[in-house]
Amino acid sequence: MQISEIRITPVAAPDPPLLNAAGLHAPYALRIIVELVSADGLSGWGEIPGSEATRAALETAAKHLVGMDPWQLNAIFTTLESLAKPDDRGAAPWDQRTWVHVRSAIEVACYDLMGKSAGRPVVDLLGGAARERAPFAAYLFYKYEGAGGEFGFGRDESAEGWFAARQLAALDPDGIVAQAQAMVAQYGFKSIKLKGGAFEPQREVDAMLALREAFGPDMPLRLDPNAIWRVDTAIATGKQLEGVLEYFEDPVRGQENMAAVARAVDIPLATNMCTTSFADLPGSVAHQSEAIILSDHHFWGGFRASLDLARFCDVFGRGMSMHSNSHLGISLAAMTHLAASAPNLTYDCDSHYPWQDGHDLLVTPLAFEDGAIAVPSEPGLGIEVDRAKLARLHERYLACGLTERNDEIEMQQAQPGWAFQSTRW
């Protein structure tokens, strides 16, 4: 099998004004869609977060990968490593490295091609399904009014149910509970996560306590302030949430600070910020910085790297969950195959997909049933990309003028003078 062409398409998907420690989501979430076309006419798809640096790196990589065999991943990775430049995840909540994303996009697309060529779903190429359905969690956000994208900060009056509720502002505990009820009613999620770090800590603690009150003790709850709290703040807030949280995600920045909170608070700590690459694993062991690592095939370098992480978690007694950024259906399919194949995925996965639901680029989007997605049984990722939808999302990318995610600039439009602080409270 041979890769004959690589198509790289930046797209912009509508995204509501969601608040987080880095500011405010812009009206569009940027993604890059990668299509590997084989000489025998098959297409393999990958999706990663969008940025101009990543797009340029993909273009460079594509020149070297055309002609290679998608089954020869070791040769492909060696080629990518020879091109990669040192980079850093940065201080923002999301990972800003370039080459690990390139590796992920190419590897996932290769697996889609391999599966289509062999007539087997990707999960079978990863060792087979450890579970038939991938469980996901409701992912709540403080937000301003509006649904994002072409709706701007206004309203789509024809929307109903969750799609009406997701347009509403959620700025206090009552708003967060209402958002959770609408999302859980639509998708059937069995766990709830709140993106924190947007308001003073007590307001976010109160929201978690309101969720506990509304949903009862059987609904696992998580809070993620994206490392914007000091150690003393995290300990004080954590003490109020002992017995309430399933896990406490990145309350503070860095492995040593996480370890200090872990020693003081009786809640498992989770991370997608202090232990985010294989180079971080020795520090994780030395400091005991977290009890749970959030995998993410976009950030760890694909399926196989994520399963290597799963093995580490198994050996070193870490639980494993899954991280998400705003994404479309190719990523959701990849996340589902990975979640199905990791034997020790011990927590429901994150997904932003309900915020993008209805704007996907698939012919038949994957659907949550009772909080989970059935693992596709069709060859490859088991999805079909709608090329007309892909073209429209690319046109939006060209028209929206955004080339990088920058939540600080977006927040400054709502609050002039607002500036990101890596530690705020």
φ/ψ of residue 110, rounded to 5: -65, -45
Q: Where are the beta strands (DSSP E) in 232-343?
A: 247-249, 269-271, 292-295, 319-322
Select the span of 153-161, 222-230, 366-374, 378-386 touching Mg ion (CB under 5 A): 222-230
Our CB check for Mg ion shows the closer of 15 and 249 to be: 249
Q: Which of 287, 297, 298, 323 is catalytic?
A: 323
Our CB check for Mg ion shows the closer of 95 and 249 to be: 249
Name the minimum Å distance from CB 390 to Mg ion: 29
d(CA 194, CA 187): 16
Our CB check for Mg ion shows the closer of 27 and 196 to be: 196
Q: Where are the beta strands (DSSP E) in 207-284?
A: 221-224, 247-249, 269-271
DSSP structure string for 136-203: B-EEEE-B-S---GGGTTS--TT--HHHHHTTS-B-SHHHHHHHHHHHHHHH--S-EEEE-SSS-HHH
Residue with tokens 């000489």: 39
Closest CA to 270 of 295, 239, 243: 295
Our CB check for Mg ion shows the closer of 224 and 407 to be: 224
Our CB check for Mg ion shows the closer of 249 and 357 to be: 249
Q: Is 326 in the site for Mg ion (CB under 5 A)?
A: no
Name the minimum Å distance from CB 176 to Mg ion: 17
Our CB check for Mg ion shows the closer of 112 and 224 to be: 224
- Which secondary structure element, helix H or strand E, spans residue 206, and what is its range? helix 201-215
State the Rg of the chain over Cα: 20
Name the minimum Å distance from CB 237 to Mg ion: 16
DSSP structure string for 351-374: --HHHHTT---BSS----BTTEEE
Our CB check for Mg ion shows the closer of 113 and 274 to be: 274
Name the minimum Å distance from CB 395 to Mg ion: 31
Answer for which of 9, 179, 272, 336 binds Mg ion (CB under 5 A) is: 272
| List of residues 6+ apart from 377 with CB closer than 8 A | 121
Name the minimum Å distance from CB 69 to Mg ion: 36
How many whole angstroms from its chain centre is CA 94?
A: 9
Residue 195 catalytic? Answer: yes
Select the span of 10-18, 63-71, 135-143, 264-272 touching Mg ion (CB under 5 A): 264-272
Select the span of 103-111, 175-183, 221-229, 300-308 touching Mg ion (CB under 5 A): 221-229
Closest CA to 265 of 293, 239, 227, 229: 239
Name the minimum Å distance from CB 193 to Mg ion: 9
Residue 359 catalytic? Answer: no
Answer for which of 112, 224, 360, 407 binds Mg ion (CB under 5 A) is: 224
Q: Which residues pair with 374 in a beta bridge?
A: 133
- Of residues 49-108, which lie at the interface with Mg ion (CB under 5 A)? none
How many chain residues interact with Mg ion (CB under 5 A)? Answer: 3
- Going by their DSSP bridges, the two strands 28-38 and 192-195 should be labelled as unpaired
Name the minimum Å distance from CB 225 to Mg ion: 9
Select the span of 11-19, 64-72, 208-216, 268-276 touching Mg ion (CB under 5 A): 268-276
Q: Which of 195, 297, 352, 359 is catalytic?
A: 195
Name the minimum Å distance from CB 339 to Mg ion: 17
Q: Give the contact letters, 231-260, x = binds to Mg ion (CB under 5 A), - = no.
A: ------------------x-----------
How many CA atoms within 13 Å lie on the side-chain side of 112?
29
d(CA 98, CA 88): 8
Select the span of 122-130, 198-206, 218-226, 387-395 touching Mg ion (CB under 5 A): 218-226
Q: Give the contact letters, 383-412, x = binds to Mg ion (CB under 5 A), - = no.
A: ------------------------------
Select the span of 79-87, 196-204, 219-227, 390-398 touching Mg ion (CB under 5 A): 219-227
The pair of three-digit structure tokens given for residue 254, joined into one six-digit string: 């860095």
Our CB check for Mg ion shows the closer of 93 and 365 to be: 93
Q: Are the CB atoms for 262 and 269 separated by under 8 Å? A: yes
Residue with tokens 């003490």: 239
Q: Which residues belong to the active site?
A: 195, 323
- Contact residues toward Mg ion (CB under 5 A) are 224, 249, 272
